[in-house]
Structure 1
Amino acid sequence: MARISDMAMKFEAAPDGFSLSLNGRTVLRHHAGSPCMFVGQGQERMGMYRGNFEIEDYIVERSPLRHAEVDGHRIALSEAEGRAPRLELSIVGNALRFRSLDAGINRFWLRIPADAEEHVWGGGEQMSYFDMRGRRFPLWTSEPGVGRDKTSEITFKSDLKDKAGGDYHNTNYPQPTYISSRRYALHVETTAYSVFDFRRDAFHEIEVWAVPERIEFHSAPSFIELVEALSLRFGRQPELPDWIYNGAIIGLKDGINSFARLDRMRAAGVQVSGLWCEDWVGSRQTSFGSRLFWDWQANDQRYPDLRQRIAELHDQGIRFLGYVNPYLAVDATLFPEAEAAGYFARDRSGRTAIVDFGEFDCGVVDFTNPEAAEWFAEEIIGRRMLDFGLSGWMADFGEYLPIDVELSNGVDAKLMHNAWPTLWAEVNAKAVESRGRTGEALFFMRAGFTGVQKHCPLLWGGDQSVDFSRHDGLVTVICAALSSGLLGNAYHHSDIGGYTSLFGNVRTPELLMRWAEMAAFTSVMRSHEGNRPRDNIQIDQDPDVLAHFARMTRIYVHLAPYLKTLSKEAAARGLPVQRPLFLHHEHDPKTHAIQDAYLYGPELLVAPVWQAAQEARTVYLPVGTSWVHVWSGEIYDGGKEVTVASPVGSPPVFYRADASFAPLFAALRDV
């Protein structure tokens, strides 16, 4: 039996197969009677409607590669001895590199050994299930859907109207990376449609609609070290800008009246770091609700003298933020310029590809064209946004690349679709860097894929429904923060109060207040009026809601010294601000599947109230330390569930009895 060692990866070849281990953990096992790799052909059907996809696959062939010919670090795989090899595998460092020897292969499957009690997390930003074990997860960037629950009425109606209902696995930000409770991580380097299937006790199966470039393995003695390693692999974000700690970013899209409303909120005690007016570019009304006018420059009719008002706010310590996405409306002033320069993706006949966004049409700027990417970064984000005075923006719609367009780089749009959010993030980051404002200007994205971490300084959780629903409400943004945070995305936040209001589903004051409670214990507080502002309660329309929100912003500001240490740690080590309980309590197995509570840094445990009319919550406190209930001061032993009163204004929050910031946390009850 031959043995070869390469770094921490150990390869063992046997007469009928081989195995691969990483620091003593078996991560690949192959023999003729139980092959780990399969190849074949599939015929997919993919249709997109306004960012929602219908995807089906017909498998023409799935063949096990039973026979392995080993030559050092290279393995030629075929269906049987004497048959021509169809795939070549090379072991290089901590990665498996693949080379197809059969041009007809467009499907690939790999089985990874699993334990029955194993947990797996990651997959990008997952909204419904933090522990992915027992389920199948397609990894394809898309609209996540409305309701995301095929048993709910709102999902049924959304599917019927716009194919927009979604399901538990739909996400703006997929990534073919997972972390195992066996303390290793696996990453598939591909942009093709792929699937993680964790439904079998004995193995995990990875499916890719192409032969992947490589599959990487990472291992570490602890989860913290593993997260640090992944953040180095994918990229780390800079520290949060200093102005963020001044309070909440207030989202208003009320034209010039937004400034007067902001003043009234400040007079009511709301601590403010920024004013976010996504309608700075103008607006249009559609059946979905109020939509923006996609022509990325200040709209003088809606916001007269905006540059002067931005300067006045800045003098008061308040920054102004806007909105942008990679599309230009055909009736916008920038569209002819981009079309004349050849900056748009094209259709099959060579003309500018036109995309229907729901009662208005757009062209998509082709970021595989370096000149187009440079034009967008410099002329739109640089000159019309940063030079105009903006300190941040929502960088929206990275998941919308149509799969039937022709791109400048000649790559099939089906292979570029998942890569598009990362290209979009890079355009924004380059614009910020060109003005020397990295770490000071703050843009935020909902779409992502492998490598977005390197460019995007802040994630937001997308468009949740304005409710407490299990698969599309407040609780889903906790799961989103935890899953994405393990993969190097240190900062996460969400629309306070949710966004999507359809079919009579509207916000309640309770939802708005509970969401603000959670947001006070995240990286960034930011409100949103939603897609139908006039149908839904807003922060400044109810005295009780306004007073409650003002207190939550004071709590956020009070915790700024602690958050600053977490931000420094994120930049230096890649650790997320919101952390799963097991990250610091990995030897407590009861923490492995908790997804509705989180550690805010190592010292605070937050369990937001995410169900309606809930006046008490049961919370599991990890073993190994005592925990102090912030609002009562009562001390609880770890390793057990406790039930605490949780009226509006007192969400379940605990701090470690030995916390270095204990005096700061104890003072929260007086804020």
Structure 2
Amino acid sequence: MDVALTLKLEDGILTGVLEDRVLLRHSPDSPAFTLARGHPDIAMVRGNFRIDDAPEGHLAPAFVRREGEAFVLSAAPQGPALLRVAAEAGDALRIEALEPGYDRLWVDLVAQADEHVWGGGEQMSYLDLSGRRFPIWTSEPGVGRDKTTELTRLMDAQGMAGGDYWWTNYPQPTFLSSRRYACHLDSSAYAVLDFTDPARHRLEVWEGTARLEFFAAGDFVGLVGALSHRFGRQPPLPDWAIGGAIVGLKDGARSFARLEAIVAAGAAVSGLWCEDWIGIRQTSFGRRLFWDWSWNAARYPALPERIAELARSGIRFLGYVNPYLANDGVQYQEALEHGFLALRQDEDAPYLVDFGEFDCGVVDFTNPAALDWFAERVIGREMLDFGLSGWMADFGEYLPVDLRLHDGSDPMLMHNRWPVLWAEANARAIASRGRTGEALFFMRAGFSGVQAHCPLLWAGDQSVDFTRHDGINTVVTAALSAGLVGNAYSHSDVGGYTSLHGNVRSAELMMRWCELGAFSPVMRSHEGNRPDDNLQVDSTPELLAHFARMTRIHAALAPYVRHLSDEAVRTGLPVQRPLFLHYPDANDLYAVQDQYLYGADLVVAPVVEEGAPRRSVVLPGTAPWRHLWSGEDFAPGRHEIDAPIGSPPVFYRPDSAFAPLFAQIGKERGG
């Protein structure tokens, strides 16, 4: 959506106006722009980054004069031009440092005291970004992500791996404002969205130029649609992916017998996901995979025949892949021979990344031939042609900043873009087989533009617990924040993933995560990094019965999810939505991040606190909502709702076209 961004200079004050919104105000006594020379210090340990800077030579040019269609800023009236500012294409602002060597920019946008902001990519800890600072750098999300917890402290001491609230696999320098506009920084450089000052929104970018794109709409629905159009929309989810659960097992040949028992227990199953289809490597972290992307016949004998048997039962087979190659694997040697690996800066030797007790080469996707090779040779022939219908496309965050790339690009600028190239390789392979919208891969890593290639997000590697910054609740925040910037579909590992330092799943956690998975567009279980130490969906009769029931509820919702998926294709609206998206005038909804609208017709309030037999639920709007399980109508407002295991608080609009479907699902209480 193009809007008219205009720049005006009056009495020495430069103002930027977007329709009726004043977004920029620069004056001699309150400059909106600062530039400096950066001196970065960056360290990486297994995808965990420490990033420091010691900028010097700060300049805040105060005086503005017009030069043609642009404005230049200087430190004194008629002094040397230090910065150039211009409106571009009616909806963008371009800022360019003119002083040689200046590669840091800070831009201040006007904020209001009562303004709220959202976005930032896929954020795990906070939906409302107001009052906080968010560095934009794709990385491991951290384990614990809370400096007050012992788990985070232990992980920080173990390879800088504890993380903090802003750490995310998928950052994006885009934010939406309660003033009904959005701003996107069109750069892949390290950046910071800083909302700590109620009088301004500060954008920091580690480049000498910055291009800010603006979008405006009368409501949030239009704004989200405009952003979705800008970044690219996903195809509709395939029927098989929403018609039952995808069961994740990594037990070799035993996986098939376990799946049979799960189906026999009454589970609605649409897929079997065996990430260990390529073999395993045991490490101190847990059961890892062997990173050479082809069938391991020793671990999965007669797999082609097994896949055919599953297909006859209406069940798809899914696998796993990532963009790195173990240096003791066959495909690594092939890539090395073709010159498809990123190199060390100091010699013509492959750059090896330590992934924890094994080393891997980086397939250099800046080389078009290397990207084509991976898409065709690895994903096309070894996976799609072999019979896989989907896979986890893992990682993408680990690109080091001290390697040498084929196209000569700066790794500091390519690091954030790497997940986009990785998504493109996967999407290209699927398109080459004519299976777009039918084969499905899911990613945790992302950045601006990944939306055009990745059909489904997953929320990454949560800890197997209820903790505030790394537990089950973070996947709701992840889906809502990512959905606002153009990602229609998200889901999570049912049961969580990371189990370290004695942190293991409880039966309660497993059951609550099953409930959340049932009301997600895709329901997929995961055995976690230490499956032998943790409860699984089939560990006990009680767990298996609960999982089976929730899969049936998920499958029964398929007609509604198909409706939402088709709507996402048309409008860009995500399937899981913040409450304020459809109720924009209720300011008290702006920070609600532990419940969501599932489309416009359902309110889902999953139980994400340990030991909670009931929870507080906000019902928006002015019309009543009907409780899914009891059929009782509730007035809009806040209510304390009973939430026993098996009956998470879910409400629907009685006037919904899908009300008969919802009513029928509500009757399925345990049979």
Superimposed CA distance per residue, residues 52-110 of structure 1 (whole angstroms, 9 cap, x where no aligned partner): 00111112132112111123531112222232112222201100123332221111000
Q: Which amino acid aligns with 1:97?
A: R
Q: Which amino acid aligns with 1:50?
A: R
Partner of 1:597: 595
1:8 aligns with 2:4: yes
TM-score calculated relative to the size of structure 1 = 0.98
Superimposed CA distance per residue, residues 625-651 of structure 1 (whole angstroms, 9 cap, x where no aligned partner): 21111111111111x210111000000
Pick from 180, 199, 211 the counterpart of residue 208 of structure 2. 211
User: Once the 2 structures are TM-superposed, how far is the Cα of residue 167 of structure 1 from its aligned partner?
Assistant: 0.3
CA distance in 1, matches of 2:265, 2:5: 60
1:174 aligns with 2:171: yes
Partner of 1:376: 374
CA distance in 1, matches of 2:651, 2:209: 45
Q: Equivalences for 1:64-83 in 2 at 5 Å?
A: 64-83=60-79
CA distance in 1, matches of 2:3, 2:534: 57
CA distance in 1, matches of 2:209, 2:315: 47
Alignment length (residue pairs): 665
Pick from 386, 389, 394 the counterpart of residue 391 of structure 1. 389
C-alpha contact 1:189 1:212 (8 A) present in aligned 2: no
| Structure 1 outlier segments of 4+, above 4 Å | none
C-alpha contact 2:247 2:269 (8 A) present in aligned 1: yes
Q: Which amino acid aligns with 2:179?
A: R
1:494 aligns with 2:492: yes
Gaps of 5+ in 1: 1-5
User: Once the 2 structures are TM-superposed, how far is the Cα of residue 7 of structure 1 from its aligned partner?
Assistant: 4.9
Partner of 2:108: 111
CA distance in 2, matches of 1:545, 1:431: 38
Secondary structure of 1:244 counterpart: helix
Partner of 1:607: 605
C-alpha contact 1:188 1:212 (8 A) present in aligned 2: no
Superimposed CA distance per residue, residues 220-249 of structure 1 (whole angstroms, 9 cap, x where no aligned partner): 001000000000000000100111132000
Superimposed CA distance per residue, residues 123-157 of structure 1 (whole angstroms, 9 cap, x where no aligned partner): 00000000000111001000010000000010001
Partner of 2:575: 577
User: Once the 2 structures are TM-superposed, how far is the Cα of residue 568 of structure 1 from its aligned partner?
Assistant: 0.1
Pick from 13, 20, 40 the counterpart of residue 17 of structure 1. 13
User: Once the 2 structures are TM-superposed, how far is the Cα of residue 660 of structure 1 from its aligned partner?
Assistant: 1.9
Partner of 1:228: 225
Superimposed CA distance per residue, residues 188-239 of structure 1 (whole angstroms, 9 cap, x where no aligned partner): 0111100011011110111001134411000000100000000000000010
Percent identity (aligned): 59
Gaps of 5+ in 2: none
CA distance in 2, matches of 1:123, 1:383: 36
Partner of 1:29: 25
1:140 aligns with 2:143: no
Partner of 2:649: 652
Partner of 1:442: 440
CA distance in 1, matches of 2:225, 2:354: 42
1:322 aligns with 2:319: yes
Secondary structure of 2:569 counterpart: helix
Superimposed CA distance per residue, residues 494-553 of structure 1 (whole angstroms, 9 cap, x where no aligned partner): 000000000000000110110010111111000000000000000111111110111111
Partner of 1:309: 306
Secondary structure of 1:162 counterpart: coil
CA distance in 2, matches of 1:103, 1:533: 55
Secondary structure of 2:554 counterpart: helix
Q: Which amino acid aligns with 2:31?
A: P
Secondary structure of 1:54 counterpart: strand
Instruction: Choose 439-448 or 299-308, whichever is displaced more.
Output: 299-308
Q: Equivalences for 1:455-604 in 2 at 5 Å?
A: 455-604=453-602
User: Once the 2 structures are TM-superposed, how far is the Cα of residue 27 of structure 1 from its aligned partner?
Assistant: 1.0
Partner of 2:149: 152
Secondary structure of 1:541 counterpart: coil
Q: Which amino acid aligns with 2:573?
A: L
Secondary structure of 1:236 counterpart: coil
1:61 aligns with 2:57: yes
Q: Which amino acid aligns with 1:465?
A: S
User: Once the 2 structures are TM-superposed, how far is the Cα of residue 409 of structure 1 from its aligned partner?
Assistant: 1.0
Pick from 270, 275, 279 the counterpart of residue 273 of structure 1. 270
CA distance in 1, matches of 2:535, 2:76: 66
TM-score calculated relative to the size of structure 2 = 0.98
CA distance in 1, matches of 2:664, 2:57: 64
User: Once the 2 structures are TM-superposed, how far is the Cα of residue 670 of structure 1 from its aligned partner?
Assistant: 1.6
Distance 1:7 1:53, change over 3 A: closer
Distance 1:269 1:7, change over 3 A: closer
C-alpha contact 1:144 1:166 (8 A) present in aligned 2: yes
CA distance in 2, matches of 1:156, 1:322: 34
User: Once the 2 structures are TM-superposed, how far is the Cα of residue 423 of structure 1 from its aligned partner?
Assistant: 0.5
CA distance in 1, matches of 2:3, 2:69: 13
Q: Which amino acid aligns with 1:91?
A: A
Secondary structure of 1:350 counterpart: coil
CA distance in 2, matches of 1:309, 1:68: 71
C-alpha contact 2:3 2:214 (8 A) present in aligned 1: no
Instruction: Choose 66-75 or 115-124, whichever is displaced more.
Output: 66-75
Superimposed CA distance per residue, residues 25-75 of structure 1 (whole angstroms, 9 cap, x where no aligned partner): 111111111111111112111000000001111121321121111235311
Partner of 1:127: 124
Superimposed CA distance per residue, residues 589-645 of structure 1 (whole angstroms, 9 cap, x where no aligned partner): 11111000000000100010001110011111113221111111111111x210111
Partner of 1:665: 662
CA distance in 1, matches of 2:314, 2:99: 62
Partner of 2:351: 353
